[in-house]
Amino acid sequence: MTDSLNKCKANETPACCCVDVGTIIDNEDCSAEYEHVFTSESEANAKLATLTQAAKAVETEPCEINSSIDKVENGYKLTAKFTFCCGAECMIFQLKLR
């Protein structure tokens, strides 16, 4: 059993090969980015409002939201970056969008 433990990269417990949450969620990446081209500016604004509402539902401290809607050849491009205070909130936000 000790040989299998030595091959593991994550910190596992000998009892059940459980991985410490800090190994997966290390707060290195607390940002989620979104980019999409919409046919109208109002559609882009509506999606930004939906994304902002989802971020507000997850945050424990204010989420920093940087966004822009730019006119492009095919319509309106929404680019947004959501920066949360911790990686867990970022992960929950991303899962809510699926």
Does 1 reside within a domain? no
Listed residue (52, 50, 61) closest to 84, CA to CA = 61
Q: Is residue 5 part of a domain?
A: no
Question: CA-CA distance, 98 to 96, in Å (whole number)?
Answer: 6
8 found inside a domain: no
Which domain CATH number covers 49?
3.30.70.860
Structure tokens at 40: 């109208």
Structural domain contains residue 9: no
In contact, 37 and 49? CB cutoff 8 Å: no
Q: What is the pTM of this model?
A: 0.73
Q: What angle do CA 81, 86, 90 make, to 5 degrees?
A: 45
With respect to residue 4, please indicate whether it lies within any of the assigned structural domains.
Answer: no
Q: What is the pLDDT of residues 2-24, one digit of tens each?
A: 444 444 445 555 556 665 555 55
Give yes or no for a contact between 64 and 30, defined as CB atoms under 8 angstroms apart.
Answer: no
Q: How many domains does the chain have?
A: 1
Q: Residue 60 sits in which domain range? A: 26-96
7 found inside a domain:
no
Tens digit of each residue's pLDDT (9 = 90 or more) over 68-98: 999 999 999 999 999 999 998 999 999 988 8
